[in-house]
Amino acid sequence: MAQKIIFTIFALITLILIQGCIETEKANKGEGGNSGDGENINNKINQEIPEQEPAHEPEQKISDYDADYYFILGYGEFENNNYNESIKFFTKAIELNPKHYEAHNLRGLIYGEKHDYTAAINDFTMAIELNENYYESYNNRGFILILKHDYEKALADFNKAIQLNENYTRAWLGRGAALEKLNRTEESMEAYQKVIELEGKFQ
Protein backbone atom coordinates (compact mmCIF):
# COMPACT_ATOMS: atom_id res chain seq x y z
CA MET A 1 0.00 0.00 0.00
CA ALA A 2 2.79 2.41 0.93
CA GLN A 3 4.56 1.70 -2.36
CA LYS A 4 1.37 2.52 -4.29
CA ILE A 5 1.08 5.83 -2.46
CA ILE A 6 4.71 6.67 -3.26
CA PHE A 7 4.18 5.80 -6.91
CA THR A 8 1.06 7.98 -7.05
CA ILE A 9 2.97 10.93 -5.63
CA PHE A 10 5.84 10.55 -8.07
CA ALA A 11 3.44 10.06 -10.99
CA LEU A 12 1.84 13.39 -10.13
CA ILE A 13 5.25 15.05 -9.87
CA THR A 14 6.20 13.62 -13.26
CA LEU A 15 3.00 14.92 -14.87
CA ILE A 16 3.59 18.39 -13.44
CA LEU A 17 7.19 18.36 -14.66
CA ILE A 18 6.23 17.35 -18.19
CA GLN A 19 3.47 19.95 -18.46
CA GLY A 20 5.66 22.63 -16.86
CA CYS A 21 8.81 21.92 -18.86
CA ILE A 22 9.02 25.43 -20.28
CA GLU A 23 8.70 27.07 -16.86
CA THR A 24 11.46 24.94 -15.35
CA GLU A 25 13.67 25.63 -18.36
CA LYS A 26 13.35 29.35 -17.68
CA ALA A 27 13.86 29.02 -13.94
CA ASN A 28 16.96 26.84 -14.17
CA LYS A 29 18.94 28.89 -16.67
CA GLY A 30 22.21 29.74 -14.99
CA GLU A 31 21.65 27.66 -11.83
CA GLY A 32 24.41 25.45 -10.49
CA GLY A 33 24.21 21.85 -11.63
CA ASN A 34 21.29 22.37 -14.00
CA SER A 35 22.38 25.08 -16.41
CA GLY A 36 23.21 24.27 -20.01
CA ASP A 37 26.78 24.42 -21.26
CA GLY A 38 27.77 27.10 -23.72
CA GLU A 39 27.36 30.83 -23.15
CA ASN A 40 24.75 31.69 -20.53
CA ILE A 41 21.66 33.39 -22.00
CA ASN A 42 21.65 36.13 -19.39
CA ASN A 43 25.27 36.94 -20.20
CA LYS A 44 24.27 37.39 -23.84
CA ILE A 45 21.49 39.75 -22.87
CA ASN A 46 23.77 41.80 -20.61
CA GLN A 47 26.52 42.18 -23.18
CA GLU A 48 26.95 45.64 -24.66
CA ILE A 49 25.91 45.50 -28.31
CA PRO A 50 27.95 47.77 -30.58
CA GLU A 51 26.03 49.96 -32.99
CA GLN A 52 27.90 48.51 -35.94
CA GLU A 53 30.74 46.17 -36.71
CA PRO A 54 33.98 47.51 -38.17
CA ALA A 55 34.03 47.33 -41.95
CA HIS A 56 36.96 44.91 -41.98
CA GLU A 57 35.18 42.26 -39.84
CA PRO A 58 34.35 39.00 -41.68
CA GLU A 59 30.74 38.66 -42.82
CA GLN A 60 30.22 35.54 -40.69
CA LYS A 61 30.83 37.48 -37.47
CA ILE A 62 28.29 40.11 -38.50
CA SER A 63 25.79 37.34 -39.19
CA ASP A 64 26.44 35.73 -35.80
CA TYR A 65 25.93 39.08 -34.10
CA ASP A 66 22.58 39.52 -35.88
CA ALA A 67 21.58 35.97 -34.90
CA ASP A 68 22.23 36.67 -31.22
CA TYR A 69 20.19 39.87 -31.48
CA TYR A 70 17.17 37.95 -32.75
CA PHE A 71 17.81 35.22 -30.18
CA ILE A 72 17.64 37.80 -27.38
CA LEU A 73 14.36 39.14 -28.80
CA GLY A 74 13.01 35.60 -29.00
CA TYR A 75 14.05 34.84 -25.44
CA GLY A 76 12.26 37.94 -24.19
CA GLU A 77 9.05 36.86 -25.89
CA PHE A 78 9.62 33.31 -24.59
CA GLU A 79 9.77 34.55 -20.99
CA ASN A 80 6.56 36.52 -21.53
CA ASN A 81 4.82 33.43 -22.98
CA ASN A 82 4.39 35.12 -26.37
CA TYR A 83 5.20 31.87 -28.15
CA ASN A 84 4.23 32.76 -31.72
CA GLU A 85 6.42 35.87 -31.68
CA SER A 86 9.19 33.93 -29.97
CA ILE A 87 9.16 31.29 -32.70
CA LYS A 88 9.52 34.01 -35.34
CA PHE A 89 12.61 35.47 -33.67
CA PHE A 90 14.23 32.10 -32.97
CA THR A 91 13.61 31.07 -36.58
CA LYS A 92 15.27 34.28 -37.80
CA ALA A 93 18.25 33.62 -35.50
CA ILE A 94 18.58 30.12 -36.95
CA GLU A 95 18.37 31.45 -40.51
CA LEU A 96 21.26 33.81 -39.77
CA ASN A 97 23.25 31.22 -37.81
CA PRO A 98 22.15 27.61 -38.52
CA LYS A 99 24.53 26.43 -35.76
CA HIS A 100 22.66 28.29 -33.01
CA TYR A 101 21.78 25.23 -30.90
CA GLU A 102 20.23 27.25 -28.07
CA ALA A 103 17.69 28.75 -30.48
CA HIS A 104 16.83 25.25 -31.70
CA ASN A 105 16.41 24.05 -28.11
CA LEU A 106 14.11 26.86 -26.99
CA ARG A 107 12.08 26.75 -30.19
CA GLY A 108 11.69 23.01 -29.58
CA LEU A 109 10.27 23.70 -26.11
CA ILE A 110 7.69 26.03 -27.60
CA TYR A 111 6.71 23.50 -30.25
CA GLY A 112 6.28 20.96 -27.47
CA GLU A 113 4.02 23.34 -25.55
CA LYS A 114 1.97 23.78 -28.75
CA HIS A 115 1.75 19.95 -29.09
CA ASP A 116 3.70 19.93 -32.33
CA TYR A 117 5.82 17.03 -31.13
CA THR A 118 7.41 16.25 -34.49
CA ALA A 119 8.73 19.80 -34.84
CA ALA A 120 9.89 19.75 -31.21
CA ILE A 121 11.84 16.53 -31.67
CA ASN A 122 13.39 17.86 -34.87
CA ASP A 123 14.64 20.98 -33.08
CA PHE A 124 16.01 19.06 -30.08
CA THR A 125 17.72 16.61 -32.41
CA MET A 126 19.30 19.45 -34.37
CA ALA A 127 20.52 21.08 -31.14
CA ILE A 128 22.14 17.78 -30.16
CA GLU A 129 23.77 17.40 -33.58
CA LEU A 130 25.21 20.90 -33.23
CA ASN A 131 26.37 20.33 -29.64
CA GLU A 132 26.53 16.69 -28.60
CA ASN A 133 27.18 17.69 -24.96
CA TYR A 134 24.04 19.82 -24.63
CA TYR A 135 22.29 17.63 -22.09
CA GLU A 136 19.21 19.87 -21.78
CA SER A 137 18.15 18.92 -25.30
CA TYR A 138 18.50 15.21 -24.54
CA ASN A 139 16.29 15.74 -21.51
CA ASN A 140 13.74 17.84 -23.37
CA ARG A 141 13.52 15.35 -26.21
CA GLY A 142 13.07 12.58 -23.65
CA PHE A 143 9.96 14.19 -22.20
CA ILE A 144 8.45 14.68 -25.66
CA LEU A 145 9.14 10.99 -26.38
CA ILE A 146 7.29 10.08 -23.18
CA LEU A 147 4.30 12.07 -24.43
CA LYS A 148 4.56 10.08 -27.67
CA HIS A 149 4.70 6.82 -25.63
CA ASP A 150 8.14 5.97 -27.00
CA TYR A 151 9.52 5.00 -23.61
CA GLU A 152 12.64 3.10 -24.69
CA LYS A 153 13.96 6.04 -26.71
CA ALA A 154 12.99 8.43 -23.93
CA LEU A 155 14.96 6.35 -21.44
CA ALA A 156 18.01 6.45 -23.72
CA ASP A 157 17.81 10.26 -23.85
CA PHE A 158 17.51 10.60 -20.08
CA ASN A 159 20.43 8.23 -19.59
CA LYS A 160 22.54 10.33 -21.97
CA ALA A 161 21.61 13.54 -20.14
CA ILE A 162 22.61 11.94 -16.84
CA GLN A 163 25.86 10.70 -18.37
CA LEU A 164 26.67 14.30 -19.32
CA ASN A 165 25.51 15.76 -16.00
CA GLU A 166 24.92 13.29 -13.18
CA ASN A 167 23.39 16.02 -11.00
CA TYR A 168 20.68 16.94 -13.51
CA THR A 169 17.55 16.40 -11.40
CA ARG A 170 15.02 16.61 -14.21
CA ALA A 171 16.79 13.87 -16.16
CA TRP A 172 16.65 11.55 -13.14
CA LEU A 173 12.94 12.29 -12.78
CA GLY A 174 12.43 11.61 -16.48
CA ARG A 175 14.38 8.38 -16.17
CA GLY A 176 12.12 7.32 -13.31
CA ALA A 177 9.00 8.09 -15.34
CA ALA A 178 10.26 6.17 -18.39
CA LEU A 179 11.24 3.16 -16.28
CA GLU A 180 7.86 3.23 -14.55
CA LYS A 181 6.10 3.13 -17.93
CA LEU A 182 8.32 0.19 -18.89
CA ASN A 183 7.27 -1.63 -15.68
CA ARG A 184 10.84 -1.63 -14.37
CA THR A 185 9.62 -0.81 -10.88
CA GLU A 186 12.75 -1.24 -8.80
CA GLU A 187 14.92 0.83 -11.15
CA SER A 188 12.21 3.48 -11.33
CA MET A 189 12.11 3.81 -7.53
CA GLU A 190 15.90 4.12 -7.45
CA ALA A 191 15.72 6.99 -9.95
CA TYR A 192 13.04 8.76 -7.91
CA GLN A 193 15.16 8.31 -4.78
CA LYS A 194 18.03 9.99 -6.61
CA VAL A 195 15.74 12.95 -7.31
CA ILE A 196 15.05 13.30 -3.58
CA GLU A 197 18.77 13.14 -2.78
CA LEU A 198 19.65 15.78 -5.37
CA GLU A 199 16.83 18.10 -4.32
CA GLY A 200 18.16 17.99 -0.77
CA LYS A 201 21.74 18.49 -1.95
CA PHE A 202 21.05 21.70 -3.89
CA GLN A 203 18.62 23.31 -1.43
Q: What is the predicted pLDDT for the residue at 74?
A: 96
Q: What is the predicted pLDDT for the residue at 199?
A: 86
Q: What is the predicted pLDDT for the residue at 30?
A: 44
Q: What is the predicted pLDDT for the residue at 65?
A: 80
Q: pTM for the complete prediction?
A: 0.73
Q: What is the predicted pLDDT for the residue at 7?
A: 45
Residue ranges of the chain with per-residue pLDDT less than 50: 1-16, 30-40, 42, 44-60
Q: What are phi and psi of 4, to 5 degrees?
A: -65, -40
Domains and CATH numbers, the chain: 2-21+40-45+57-202 (1.25.40.10)
Q: What is the predicted pLDDT for the residue at 57?
A: 44
